[in-house]
Amino acid sequence: MNGQAAPVPQAERILSLDAIRGVAVLGILVMNIQSFALPSSAYLNPTALGPLAGAGWWVWLLSHLFADRKFISIFSMLFGAGVLLFTERAEARGAAPGPLHYRRMAWLLVFGLAHAYLLWYGDILVTYALCGMLAFLFRKRPARALFITGLVALAFGSAIYLFFGWSMRFWPPASVANLLETWRPAPDRLAWETELYRGGWLGQMAHRAPLAFFLQVPFLLMYELWRAGGLMLVGMALYKWGVLAGERPPGFYRRLLAGGLVAGLGLAAYGVYRNVAAGWDVRYSFFLGPQWNYWAGVLIALAYIAAVVLACRAWPASGLVRRLAAVGRMAFTNYLAQTLICTTLFYGHGLGLYGRVGRPGQVAIVMAIWLLQLWYSPLWLARFRFGPFEWLWRSLTYGQRLPNRLAAPQR
């Protein structure tokens, strides 16, 4: 395109970035499936539907330690890195990055709103679009400044939660009761939510729309703006330092892997211990209890990034690395595909399995979806330049229908 930016050609892609993104989009399903399969309170409080025991306890514990807040943190960091990558390549082609970036974020916001209100309230695209608009303003800052600013934003989000937890002693009884109803709903409330999601699509809006609005406005301002936005700035710093592209010495990644896992798992495990000791009481476990995993998520995410970079350096041509990179190149499509698959399985306009599949069964479904996406992503990219939603998003961003089909399958 003469004088305009263009999508990233395959030859310019960074293997480690794509593979890390693939790991992130697969990993987030471990937690997201709980919101698809169970009443919303079960995501926050593992005892909301009753005591956890046996296989259900172990599934929750392992997913909490190794997945909760970990893969979404990677996704957020990579989104920040993607803002830099997109704007740098736009500038290299002589285009003004600002209009393109904000058009790109505006369309992502449209996709996110449709995703949240029409399909699933747990959407993250709206948060990313809004935080991405703000992150763009920091793109020229040095890596050190970005990293420090990101950590400050993360600390501010944590401080807000700690303040609300401390202030509960001064809340009116009615406010505490409302929070308790969210944390541990009464049987009739659980039955109402279950009936809605086992019913038709239109009836689900009674629960989905208000919850989506809460997550996109008050919860965004109180929590996600600071966490997702802070992680995007951290991701920008990591990109500028060459960490995400695998440009640091191998010893750096080995130390990051070991240190992140040891410190992160220690924090997350201690958080579980404290929550169990508190009996999952809302006064501790809603605001104060999650703080251990809040920071553990960042540390373990960095460890996972290091592990994927080491794998890409050691086995760049391996089948698994290439498949993970293909999943990452189609992350937008695969993220939305997970919603379409899971809502079809669990909601009443599909198979109606909502509330009928326990945590061990959810793991089996997650693994099946992983295998499916690892299978079809390379097949699609052997014939097309982009995933279907990536192609649509890019075409809308650049204001023209971009070519997608390859002349012949890549081998």
Instruction: Copy the structure tokens of residue 323.
Output: 């498949």
pLDDT tens for 201-231 read 999 999 999 999 999 999 999 999 999 999 9
Assign 2 a pLDDT band (cuts: 50, 70, 90): very low
In a domain, 293, yes or no: yes
pLDDT score, position 71: 98
pLDDT tens for 288-334 read 999 999 999 999 999 999 999 999 999 999 999 999 999 999 999 99
What does the alpha-carbon distance between residue 39 and residue 58 come to, in Å, rounded to a whole number?
20
In a domain, 190, yes or no: yes
In a domain, 194, yes or no: yes
Total domains in the chain come to 1
Residues whose CB falls within 8 Å of the CB of residue 335, separated by 6 or more in sequence, listed in order: 25, 28
Instruction: Copy the structure tokens of residue 372.
Output: 């499916």
Residues whose CB falls within 8 Å of the CB of residue 103, separated by 6 or more in sequence, listed in order: 396, 397, 399
Instruction: Copy the structure tokens of residue 316.
Output: 């760049």
State the burial class of residue 175 (Cβ atoms within 10 Å of its Cβ: 0-12, 13-18, 19+): exposed
pLDDT score, position 130: 98
pLDDT score, position 170: 94
In a domain, 227, yes or no: yes
Assign 52 a pLDDT band (cuts: 50, 70, 90): confident
pLDDT at residue 265 greater than cutoff 90:
yes
Q: At what angle do helices 319-329 and 331-346 cross, to 10 degrees?
A: 80
Assign 27 a pLDDT band (cuts: 50, 70, 90): very high
pLDDT score, position 271: 98
pLDDT tens for 86-106 read 999 999 988 899 999 999 999
pLDDT score, position 7: 52
Domain that holds residue 327: 10-398
Share of the chain above pLDDT 70, in %: 96
In a domain, 1, yes or no: no
In a domain, 409, yes or no: no
In a domain, 231, yes or no: yes
In a domain, 406, yes or no: no
Q: Which residue has the tokens 């994927």?
A: 308
What does the alpha-carbon distance between residue 299 and residue 377 come to, in Å, rounded to a whole number?
29
Question: How far is the CA of 195 from the CAs of 89, 188, 189, 231, 346, in angstroms?
Answer: 49, 10, 10, 37, 12
pLDDT at residue 410 greater than cutoff 70:
no
